[in-house]
Each structure stands twice: as C-alpha cells, then as structure tokens.
Amino acid sequence: MEPDFLRYSCQITLPGFSEASQQQLRQAKVLIIGAGGLGCPAAQYLTAAGVGKIGIADFDVVSVSNLHRQVLYAPKDIGQKKALLACNKLGVQNPGVLLIPHDVKITSANVMDTISGYDIVVDGTDNFDTRYLINDACVIAGMPVVYGAIYQFEGQAAVWNVANADGTKSPNYRDLFPKVNAAQIPNCADGGVIPTLAGIIGCVQANEVIKYITKTGELLAGKVMVFDALTLQSRIIKIGKITNTNIVSLQHSTDAPTLTVAEVKKGLADNTLELVDIRTDQEHDEINIGGIHFEADEIDENMAYLTNSKVKVLYCSSGKRSAEAVKQIRLKSPETRVYSLEGGLKTWFESEIRD
C-alpha cells in the first residue's frame, strides 16, 4: 500500500472498494456550487475521502445567521468570502487535495466556463434561478449533477443527467420541476431549517459523488430521495429512467434591480419611495419594517399600485422572494420603478446592529 493510501485504509478495505477505487477518487474533479448548508458538509467529506480536485464556487460572505447550519465557519469568519475561506480550511483538513476557489456569482455568462474541467457538479445552491441554470448547463455539457434541497424539516437529494447504458440520459431537474414560481416559495432564510438536515442531505450528496466516481452501489438517478427529519423516515420517488426534456441552450436571465439598506433608508427619509412587504401574513405579523403588505401571490391584484409613479421597494426575509417578485413585475411592466431590498430583512437588521 502506498504511504498516502494509509489515510484511506478504512474505506479501501470496504467490500467492492479497493486501491483502484481510491485512485479513481484521487483522479476525480468535483465542482461544488454553493458553500453553504449543503456545500459545507459535502465539501468536508469529499475532501476527507481524498477527491483529487475540488472546486468551490460561491460569491457570498459568511453572516451570523449562517453559523447554525454552515459548520465549516466560525464567528471570526463573519464577513469573509465563503469560497476562499472554505478552500483554506479544507486545505488544512487534507493537504493532498487540490482546492480551487471560484469567487464568482454563477450566471449564464460564466457557468459553462466554470463547470468545464470538472467531472461532476454538486448543486448546493438555495435559489431556483441558479438551480435551473446549473441543471441546463450540465445537460448541455453532458455532466451529471448531484442535487440537494432543504426546507424546514424536509430534504431532497437526487442525481441528474447520468448516462444510461444505451446512450440515453437519466432525468434532470426540469423533468421533476418543469417550472417553479420562486416568488411564492420561501427558502431557508425565510421559512427556517433545522441545522442537522443540512448535514444529512449534504452528506448524502457527497455519498452519491463517491458512488458515481468509484462506480459502486446504486445511484439516485431517475429517482428522488425525500427525507423527513422529524420522523427520520425517507422515501424514494421514481421519476423514470430517461429524460423527457430537450435542453440545447441556456435561458439568459437578468438579475432583479436592487437597492441597498442605506439607499432605502435615505429614500424613506426623503419620502421618495415606499416599502412593500411580500411575505406571508404570519411573517408580517411577527416582524416588519413598515410599508404596504400583500403576499407574493397577490402581485397581479396590486399591479395598479405597484406601477404608479412612486418608487416601490419590495422586501422579504432574505431578498430572494422579493427579487423574484420584482422580475415578475418588470416582465409585465418593464418601465415600472420597482426594486428589491438587497439582502432583505436579514441585512436590514444586521446593519442596525453595526450602526
């Protein structure tokens, strides 16, 4: 046994696993997009397992509200870039792994370049635009995607776009969710998530990557695992063996226009803008920063108000639902002066603590 294989002796002795399997891991190139609740445990275990090259793509910084589930970071890391920080920490964990930070926001303009040079992508993102973009790019590139999603007490995992023996491809994300109205669906920051669920689903994603690389076990291809953290029950939903989609190009999406907390506070002081809370009634009643309130699925009923002469700033807990709502409004009325509060209430209240 080669000296560096001593580190991996417990996995090499597994039935069906061998030094050749470990060599496959060492030669593998894995890209993890999103260094958050899912990306952290996935990256930690893939690094520990000895994957040769791991890319970490994330443009965000660590915030205090991340710490309960993003276990790679500590309070001293708040404000630092996740991709750079994650690679530095993982490099200490296993110096034999090549770690590449991609400190960029994944967009239609850079996604193909970012995923090139990798064998498989782990989707650890938390918004639908990026999830669809990663899916479509990997289908076009002929690359598998290990999907994970968490919300409150439920998690999902699957492996998309795997080559079948007859040359066809397994289903991808659009086979399961052809279209989603993201403005009506809260994410973790909005709806909450039990922290252990992030670790469970992130580890499942790492497990599927290892199985794919070493060709061991049965992949979650053509099916979705749904896990309930409250009951510890899981079920497998079969969605077919072959994709029914035909993805040949990327859908180019533009970011919703935003205003920072400082810009919004100045606008409120000058009486040049109005706030609109698009969260649920329960969320609004628990805490809000004022303004008109209606839920995201009531936008059409309020278009007359939203498109009048005064600037509107929509807000939610994290800025993601409000950004999706702004996109919808701008599609219906491109000249409307409507913006999303950047970072949502999370950033608003964090700024008040700093002030």
Q: Which residues contact 154 (CB under 8 A, 6 or more apart)?
A: 197, 226, 227, 228, 229
Indicate the pairing of strand 233-238 with strand 223-228: antiparallel
CATH number attached to the domain at 258-354: 3.40.250.10
For 207, the 3-state DSSP assignment is helix
**What pLDDT, on the 0 to 100 scale, is given for residue 3?**
47
CATH 3.40.250.10-classified regions of the chain: 258-354
pLDDT band at 354 (very low <50, low <70, confident <90, very high): low
Q: Which of 161-165, 319-323, 348-352 has the lowest mean pLDDT?
A: 348-352
Q: Tell me the pLDDT tens digit for each residue of 66-107.
A: 899 999 999 999 989 999 999 999 999 999 999 999 999 999
Q: With H, G, I as helix, E, B as strand and everything else as coil, classify residue 165.
A: coil
Distance CA 183, CA 173 (A): 18
CATH 3.40.50.720 residue ranges of the chain are: 3-238
Q: How far apart are CA 296 and CA 51, in angstroms?
A: 43
Per-residue pLDDT reduced to its tens digit, 19-54: 999 999 999 999 999 999 999 999 999 999 999 999
Q: 51 φ, ψ to 5°?
A: -60, 135
**Minimum mean pLDDT range among 25-29, 48-52, 159-163, 304-308:** 304-308
Burial of 48 by CB count in 10 Å (0-12 exposed, 13-18 middle, 19+ buried)?
Answer: middle
Does pLDDT of 291 surpass 90?
yes
**Average pLDDT for 297-318:** 92
Rounded (10°) CA dihedral 324, 326, 332, 335: -150
At residue 350 the predicted structure's pLDDT band, cuts being 50, 70 and 90, is confident
First to last CA, the chain: 58
75 is written with which tokens?
Answer: 């309070």
What pLDDT shows up at residue 234?
96
Locate tokens 């650890």: which residue? 124
**Quick one: what percent of the chain has pLDDT higher than 90?**
75
User: Residue 132: phi, psi to the nearest 5?
Assistant: -65, -40
Structure token digits, residue 250: 């990327």
Write out the two tokens for 263. 């810009």
Residue 87 CB neighbour total at 10 angstroms: 23
Q: What is the pLDDT of residues 165-216, one digit of tens each?
A: 999 999 999 999 987 655 555 555 556 789 999 999 999 999 999 999 999 9
Which CATH fold would you assign to the domain 3-238? Rossmann fold (3.40.50)
Q: How far is CA 305 from CA 193, 258, 298, 341, in A?
A: 34, 19, 12, 18
Higher-confidence residue: 253 or 318? 318
C-alpha–C-alpha distance, residues 111 and 141, integer Å: 11
Task: Give pLDDT, residue 1.
Answer: 41
Mean pLDDT of 326-344: 90
- Mean pLDDT, range 317-331, rounded to an integer: 89
Confidence band (pLDDT; 50, 70, 90) for 6? confident
The helix/strand/coil state of 256 is coil
Torsional sign, CA 88, 92, 93, 97 = positive
Looking at residues 334-345, what average pLDDT do you find? Answer: 91
Position 203 scores a pLDDT of 98
Question: Which is nearest to 124 in space by CA: 194, 72, 201?
Answer: 201
Cβ contact 122:147 at 8 Å: no
d(C-alpha 139, C-alpha 11), whole Å: 31
Q: Flag whether pLDDT at 337 surpasses 70.
A: yes
Q: Which residues are catalytic?
A: 188, 316
Predicted pLDDT at 132: 94
Q: Is pLDDT of 348 > 50?
A: yes
- 111-146 per-position pLDDT tens digit: 999 999 999 999 999 888 899 999 999 999 999 999
Across 213-220, average pLDDT: 95
pLDDT at 188: 56
Answer yes or no: is pLDDT of 288 > 60: yes
**Which of these, 47, 51, 44, 25, lies nearest to 216 by C-alpha position?**
25
In this predicted structure, what is the pLDDT of residue 319? 87
| Contact by Cβ (8 Å): 115, 250 | no
